[in-house]
Amino acid sequence: MRILTASDRALLVEAADLDEAMRLNLAWDGVPGVVERIPGARTVLVRFDPLRVSARELAAVLESTEVDAEHVPHTREVTVPVRYDGEDLDEVATLLGVSAEEVVNRHLSAEWQVAFSGFAPGFGYTVSTDPLFDVPRRSSPRTRVPAGSVALAGHFTGVYPRESPGGWQLIGRTDAAMWDIDRDPPALLSPGTLVRFERVRAAVAGALSPDSAGSLTRAKGPASDEGVLRQAQQPNPGIEVVRPSLQLLVQDLGRFGHAALGVSASGVADRTALRDANRAVGNRPDAAVLESVGGCVLRFRGDGVAATAGAIGELTLTDAAGTTRTIPQGAPFATADGDELALGHPARGLRYVIAVRGGVLAPQALGSTASDTLAGLGPAPLAAGDVLGIGDAGHLSADPHPQPRALPASGDLVELDITLGPRDDWFTPAAIETLTGQDWTVTPRSDRVGIRLHGETPLERSVAGELPSEGAVNGAIQVPPDGQPVLFLPDHPLTGGYPIIGALTDRCLDLAGQLPPGARIRFRVVDAADRRSSPSEPQHRSGPDDDAPRASANSATDSTEKSPS
């Protein structure tokens, strides 16, 4: 095997083939210091806790693994009914040199097993022993693939659990629920499952096997009449959304340990801001908060204590009598029934974090209230009129003296530490120099999934072709064919097929979550092979002048360093 650096907290292990990758993934269950494993087509991404084991120590343990099993055991069997009427069926037949009917018949007769999950919750990469199925992805991905689409790419069959972009070849449709949060396991096509596809000629209301019964669900959000966040169902105390921001979400530290189901951790984009806001009001560090991209207006129900951290902008509190006062950044302030908190457009940073004493109450999905915008897990984005409850007022000792943070404004230059790999060898030496030698601008085409960057010189690849799907970490720098990188944020897909040239160190993730459009990035390579803690703090320079004084941004510490990221 070959072991590559995926970040300062992750290694990517290359296996000989898919079968070996699956067996190695099983063999590493319980290895000390390992936080999570994400198997891919020929790799296993191993995330670890650097406080317990260094990358070098872990690599030695992984290299010494002996695998005796010849085959991966299957966990259960399911039947998936399919209407073979996909838009790409005839094109797939042409690519494979057979008739469309033969494609269907061999798809039905092949023995399929789920090798791994990724891309989205419930998306299982299912492989067979039939050598016919080796299909290239579409040259131009679709921006919208309907839920239930049965598709081929490479040696795999997959079923899209929800509407999403995608570049796989569509051969049919199914009404089977690929993901149901109330089912055990929630993913119908979980790793190890044996799958039999069954042809149906007419619409089917759900799957034909007990295992696949149910429907695609998500945690009830505030936009649902049945959600627990609606105003009519929520007693005092609470928080009412008067005017939402561009994106107003409920967040916490995220949901961990579900990568095998295709579920990423998600969670707040700026853990430092979450920690600071919760500490200011006396909450536990993992209490749920609101995350707001830009300004918004909130109304408090009942008396309480709140604090705002993260983005820096004008904060005002207006009471029921119309008296307005300025609220200090990061410090706790008392709220009375009817008070309205107005957050102005950020002058620095991008995302506000609003904490209330007792924590925000919201529906949980897999043990977390985090809103995953890519997967559709957790509460939906908040809208005007939505009301959220507030938890028990019992609290820890509050910290009324927050540490100041230097966050970037549009045009500022930010220096971020990265580790190279795992696929830096897919790029020319000139591309590596370009990655670290030029500024990259944050474009408006950015969200919680990733930041789209633009540089004057795109990154040039030395290896052409497609990369078999493999795991990706938060902070990964993925490079599409146009050579303009995408910097992954918390809601990124767990697996992907574009090469990753490097990844942010853990300390830089929070600052990345605060980068506004127009900010400039300069990447700085560090070597984290032997580190049990993260390297130096990220830096940013104020204003467009490269010679301007530097200011450091606080890094994630304390409880956030002890939690998976």
pLDDT, tens only, 431-473 = 999 999 999 999 999 999 999 999 999 999 999 877 888 999 9
Given this model, what pLDDT does residue 459 score? Answer: 97
- Above 70 in pLDDT, residue 128? yes
Name, in order, each residue with C-beta under 8 angstroms of 23's C-beta and a sequence gap of 6 or more.
Answer: 67, 69, 72
- Above 60 in pLDDT, residue 102? yes
Q: What is the mean pLDDT of residues 195-220?
A: 53
- Above 90 in pLDDT, residue 4? yes
Main-chain phi, psi angles of 492, to 5 degrees: -70, 155
317: its two tokens: 């509190």
Q: What is the mean pLDDT of residues 498-508?
A: 97
Segment 158-183, tens digit of pLDDT = 999 989 888 899 999 999 999 998 88
Which of 69-83, 228-242, 340-354, 446-460 comes out lowest in average pLDDT?
228-242
Given this model, what pLDDT does residue 217 score? Answer: 29
Burial of 196 (0-12, 13-18, 19+ CB in 10 A): middle
- Above 70 in pLDDT, residue 28? yes
Q: What is the mean pLDDT of residues 139-153?
A: 90
Could you write out the three-class secondary structure of 369-410?
Answer: CCCECCCCECCCCCCCCCEEEECCCCCCCCCCCCCCCCCCCC
Other residues' Cβ atoms within 10 Å of the Cβ of residue 299:
19
- Above 60 in pLDDT, residue 92? yes
- Above 50 in pLDDT, residue 556? no
Q: How many CA atoms lie within 13 A of 214 on its CB side?
A: 19
- Above 60 in pLDDT, residue 520? yes
Report the DSSP beta bridge partners of residue 539.
415, 552
Given this model, what pLDDT does residue 18 score? Answer: 86
Q: What is the mean pLDDT of residues 72-95?
A: 90
Could you write out the three-class secondary structure of 502-535?
Answer: EEECHHHHHHHCCCCCCCEEEEEECCCCCCCCCC
Given this model, what pLDDT does residue 75 score? Answer: 67
Instruction: Cis check for the bond before 237: say yes or no (omega within 30 of 0).
Output: yes
User: Do the strands 43-48 and 10-14 form a parallel or antiparallel pair, or are they unpaired?
Assistant: antiparallel
**139 confidence band (pLDDT: 50, 70, 90):** confident
For the entire predicted model, the pTM comes to: 0.84
Segment 360-374, tens digit of pLDDT = 999 999 999 999 998
Give start and end residues of each alpha helix (H) in 397-488. 429-437
% of the chain exceeding 70 in pLDDT:
85
The answer to whether 363 and 228 have CB atoms below 8 angstroms apart is: yes
Q: What is the mean pLDDT of residues 538-553?
A: 44
Given this model, what pLDDT does residue 538 score? Answer: 57
Which of 265-269, 397-401, 414-418, 510-514 comes out lowest in average pLDDT?
397-401
User: What CA–CA distance (Å, rounded) separates 457 from 435?
Assistant: 9
% of the chain exceeding 90 in pLDDT:
68
- Above 70 in pLDDT, residue 529? no
**547 confidence band (pLDDT: 50, 70, 90):** very low
Q: What is the mean pLDDT of residues 544-565?
A: 35
**375 confidence band (pLDDT: 50, 70, 90):** confident
Which has more confidence, 541 or 276? Answer: 276
Amino acid letter at 352? Answer: Y
Given this model, what pLDDT does residue 57 score? Answer: 96
Given this model, what pLDDT does residue 315 score? Answer: 98
Average model confidence (pLDDT) across the chain? 86
The answer to whether 49 and 57 have CB atoms below 8 angstroms apart is: no
Which has more confidence, 97 or 226? Answer: 97
Which has more confidence, 233 or 520? Answer: 520
Which of 294-308, 398-412, 528-542 comes out lowest in average pLDDT?
528-542
- Residue matched to tokens 């700085």: 524
Given this model, what pLDDT does residue 212 score? Answer: 35
**222 confidence band (pLDDT: 50, 70, 90):** very low
- Above 90 in pLDDT, residue 270? yes
Q: What is the CA radius of gyration of the chain?
A: 24
H or E element at residue 239: strand 238-243
